[in-house]
C-alpha cells in the first residue's frame, strides 16, 4: 500500500506540472491584453500619457514584460506558495474573489448529491429486485424521460410551475436582498432560494444514476454467490443489501468519483439560469472577460481534484471488493 501510494503521488506531481505547462501555454496564445482590461479605456483619448503610464504599470504588476518561461516559473511558484494571482477584472486577489462562489457551489452540489443518492439508490435497487414488473417499467419510463430532458428545459418548466403559476419559490439569487436576521434565519433564507436549483439538479441527474444502479444490481443478483446465499436460507433483505449491493458498489465507485469532482465544479447552466453566485458562473464570466488569473487558478484546482479523485477511486475499489489488490 505504501509503495503504491508513493508511486501514485509521484505520478500526480508529474501530471500536475505537465498539465500546468499546457494550460499556461494555451491561455498565453489567446488574443488580448489583460493589462488593458484593468484600465479605463476612455483615458486613452482624454489623457494618453497617463493611460500609457498606467498601462506599463499594470503590465509590470502582472509580470507581462517577462519572457514566457519566466512568467510560467513565477506563476507556478506563486501558486505552490498559496498566491493564486490577482483578478484584473474584479481588482482583488483570486483567492478572496472565489471564496464566496466556491462556498455557494459546494453547498448547492453537496445538497444535490445527498438528495440524488437518497432517491436513486433505493429506486434502482427496488427496480432491479422487481425486474420486468409494472413498477420496474414505470421507473424505466420515468428515468428515460428525466435522462432525455436537458437541465435548462427542466429549469424553465419548474420556474413556470413553481415560481410563476404558483409563486412558491424565488426565481433567482442566493439570498433575499437586504434581508436582516440572525444566523439561523439567514440559513433558512439561503435554503429557500436553493430549493428550485436543487430540485432541477436532482431531477436532471436522477434518471441516469437510477438506471446505472438498476443495471449494476441486476448484474450483482445474477452472481453465483447470490444464489448460494439464497440457497443457505438467508433473508432476502440480507441477500440484497449485504451481498448484492456490496458487489454492485464496485461500478458505482466510478460514479461517486465523478460526483466528488463535480461538487466543486458547479453547474454553469443552473447557476446562470437562477443567478446562483457559484464558481461555474464565475468561470464563464472570467473566460468572457479574459480574466485568466482566475481561470488558471480554478483549472489547476480541478486538476488536483481530479487526480485526488482517481486515487480515491482506486482505494474505494479495494474497500468495495477485497479481491482488488493495489499493485
Task: Report the mean per-residue pLDDT for the chain.
Answer: 82
Q: Dihedrals φ, ψ of 309, to 5°?
A: -65, -40
Instruction: Let me know: does 27 contact 287? Beta carbons within 8 Å.
Output: no
Q: Does 174 lie in the same domain as 295? A: yes
Instruction: Answer yes or no: is 1 within a domain.
Output: no
Q: Does 307 lie in the same domain as 168? A: yes
Q: Does 131 lie in the same domain as 201? A: yes
* pLDDT at 14 (0 to 100): 92
Instruction: Answer yes or no: is 6 within a domain.
Output: no
Q: Does 226 lie in the same domain as 291? A: yes
Q: How far apart are CA 297 and CA 233, in angstroms?
A: 57
Q: Does 118 lie in the same domain as 69? A: no
Question: Helices 134-148 and 99-129 sit at what angle, rounded to 10 degrees?
Answer: 150
Residues 69-84: b if buried by 16+ CB within 10 A, e if exposed: eebbeebbeebeeeeb
- What is the number of structural domains in the chain? 2
Instruction: Answer yes or no: is 21 within a domain.
Output: no
Q: Which of 137-141, 224-228, 243-247, 323-327 has the highest mean pLDDT?
A: 137-141
Q: Does 262 lie in the same domain as 139? A: yes
Instruction: Answer yes or no: is 132 within a domain.
Output: yes
Q: Does 176 lie in the same domain as 47? A: no
Range from 46-60, 69-83, 182-196 carrying the lowest mean pLDDT: 46-60
Pick the residue with more confidence: 136 or 252? 136
Instruction: Answer yes or no: is 5 within a domain.
Output: no
* pLDDT at 224 (0 to 100): 86
pTM (2 d.p.): 0.76
* pLDDT at 48 (0 to 100): 76
Question: Across residues 152-162, what is the average pLDDT?
Answer: 89
**Bridge partners for 87 per DSSP:** 92
Q: Does 199 lie in the same domain as 300? A: yes
Kindly tell me if the per-residue pLDDT of 239 is higher than 60.
yes
Instruction: Answer yes or no: is 27 within a domain.
Output: no
pLDDT band at 320 (very low <50, low <70, confident <90, very high): low
Kindly tell me if the per-residue pLDDT of 30 is higher than 80.
no
* pLDDT at 41 (0 to 100): 64
* pLDDT at 42 (0 to 100): 65
Question: Across residues 77-106, what is the average pLDDT?
Answer: 83
Kindly tell me if the per-residue pLDDT of 327 is higher than 70.
no
Q: Does 111 lie in the same domain as 56? A: no
Q: How far apart are CA 283 and CA 268, in angstroms?
A: 8
Q: What percent of the chain has pLDDT over 70?
A: 91
Q: Does 104 lie in the same domain as 79? A: no
Residue range of the domain that includes 106: 99-320
CATH code of residue 281 = 1.10.3720.10
Instruction: Answer yes or no: is 107 within a domain.
Output: yes
Question: Across residues 233-239, what is the average pLDDT?
Answer: 86
Instruction: Answer yes or no: is 89 within a domain.
Output: no
Question: Across residues 160-174, what is the average pLDDT?
Answer: 87
Kindly tell me if the per-residue pLDDT of 226 is higher than 60.
yes
Q: What percent of the chain has pLDDT over 90?
A: 4
176 torsion bin: left (phi>0), alpha (psi -120 to 50), beta (else):
beta
Q: Does 275 lie in the same domain as 158? A: yes
pLDDT band at 266 (very low <50, low <70, confident <90, very high): low
Burial of 65 (0-12, 13-18, 19+ CB in 10 A): exposed
Amino acid at each position: 500500500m505504501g509503495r503504491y501510494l508513493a508511486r501514485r503521488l509521484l505520478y500526480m506531481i508529474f501530471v500536475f506540472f505537465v498539465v500546468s505547462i499546457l494550460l499556461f501555454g494555451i491561455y498565453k496564445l489567446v488574443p488580448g491584453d489583460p493589462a488593458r482590461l484593468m484600465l479605463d479605456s476612455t483615458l486613452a483619448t482624454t489623457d494618453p500619457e497617463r493611460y500609457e503610464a498606467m498601462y506599463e504599470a499594470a503590465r509590470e504588476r502582472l509580470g507581462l514584460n517577462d519572457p514566457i518561461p519566466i512568467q510560467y516559473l513565477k506563476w507556478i511558484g506563486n501558486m505552490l506558495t498559496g498566491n493564486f494571482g490577482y483578478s484584473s477584472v474584479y481588482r482583488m486577489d483570486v483567492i478572496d474573489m472565489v471564496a464566496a462562489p466556491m462556498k455557494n457551489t459546494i453547498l448547492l452540489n453537496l445538497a444535490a448529491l445527498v438528495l440524488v443518492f437518497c432517491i436513486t439508490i433505493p429506486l434502482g435497487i427496488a427496480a432491479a429486485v422487481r425486474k420486468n414488473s409494472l413498477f420496474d417499467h414505470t421507473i424505466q419510463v420515468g428515468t428515460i424521460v428525466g435522462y432525455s430532458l436537458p437541465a435548462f428545459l427542466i429549469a424553465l418548466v419548474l420556474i413556470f410551475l413553481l415560481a410563476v403559476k404558483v409563486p412558491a419559490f424565488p426565481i433567482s439569487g442566493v439570498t433575499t436582498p437586504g434581508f436582516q436576521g440572525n444566523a439561523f434565519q439567514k440559513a433558512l433564507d439561503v435554503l429557500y432560494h436553493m430549493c428550485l436549483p436543487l430540485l432541477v439538479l436532482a431531477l436532471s441527474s436522477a434518471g441516469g444514476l437510477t438506471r446505472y444502479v438498476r443495471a449494476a444490481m441486476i448484474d450483482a443478483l445474477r452472481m453465483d454467490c447470490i444464489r448460494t446465499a439464497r440457497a443457505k436460507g438467508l433473508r432476502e433483505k440480507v441477500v440484497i443489501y449485504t451481498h448484492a449491493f456490496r458487489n454492485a458498489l464496485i461500478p458505482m465507485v466510478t460514479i461517486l468519483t465523478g460526483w466528488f469532482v463535480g461538487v466543486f465544479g458547479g453547474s454553469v447552466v443552473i447557476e446562470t439560469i437562477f443567478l446562483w453566485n457559484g464558481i461555474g458562473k464565475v468561470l464563464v464570466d472570467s473566460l468572457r472577460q479574459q480574466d485568466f488569473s482566475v481561470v488558471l487558478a480554478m483549472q489547476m484546482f480541478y486538476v488536483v481534484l481530479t487526480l485526488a479523485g482517481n486515487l480515491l477511486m482506486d482505494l474505494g475499489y479495494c474497500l468495495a471488493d477485497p479481491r482488488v489488490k493495489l499493485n
